[in-house]
């Protein structure tokens, strides 16, 4: 069965700092990868996704993620964070021949103004 690791449980940054949140998965086959975000008091919503093609994917609000197949990683990045990026971020993996999404444990991001 697949699994997802997010090693950073809580990250605290100042505004304008650069962000990188780690995500590693374990699964031997082809996968689709996702980052979801949950702002305080709001729905879980999709930030970005990788299905095929260019391993560098761009999402909403200036976020991007790079799929490195050899490292089984899909790290999330943003060059300059804002206070409004304060949220919880979840990485998820969906094997190609499966309907079940497996989530990581989440990373809580706090941005200090």
Place of tokens 């689709």: 32
Site for other proteins (CB under 8 A): which residue of 25, 106, 109, 111?
106
Number of residues that bind other proteins (CB under 8 A): 24
Instruction: For residue 112, give both structure tokens.
Output: 């200090």
Structure tokens at 40: 């305080």
Picking from 40, 87, 24, the residue whose alpha carbon sits closest to that of residue 61 is: 87
Q: In the window 34-63, what residues touch other proteins (CB under 8 A)?
A: 34, 36, 42-46, 49, 51-52
DSSP-derived secondary structure letter, 62? G
CB-nearer residue toward other proteins: 3 or 14: 3
**83 sits near other proteins (criterion: CB under 8 A):** no
CB contact at 8 A, 20 and 75: yes
Q: Which of 19, 31, 37, 94 binds other proteins (CB under 8 A)?
A: 94
Query: CB–CB of 3/26 below 8 Å?
Result: yes
| 29 forms part of the interface with other proteins (CB under 8 A) | no
As given in the structure block, the two tokens for residue 36 are: 């979801």
Please give the residue ranges that form the binding site for other proteins (CB under 8 A). Answer: 6, 9, 32, 34, 36, 42-46, 49, 51-52, 90, 94, 97, 99-106
């Amino acid at each position: 069965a697949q699994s997802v690791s997010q090693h950073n449980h809580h990250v605290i940054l100042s505004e304008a700092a650069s962000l990188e949140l780690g995500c590693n998965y374990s699964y031997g086959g082809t996968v689709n990868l996702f980052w979801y975000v949950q702002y305080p008091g709001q729905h879980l919503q999709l930030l970005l996704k990788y299905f095929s093609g260019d391993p560098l994917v761009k999402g909403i609000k200036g976020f991007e993620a790079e799929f490195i197949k050899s490292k089984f990683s899909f790290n999330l990045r943003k060059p300059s964070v804002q206070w409004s990026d304060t949220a919880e971020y979840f990485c998820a993996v969906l094997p190609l021949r499966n309907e079940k999404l497996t989530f990581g444990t989440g990373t809580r991001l706090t941005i200090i103004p």
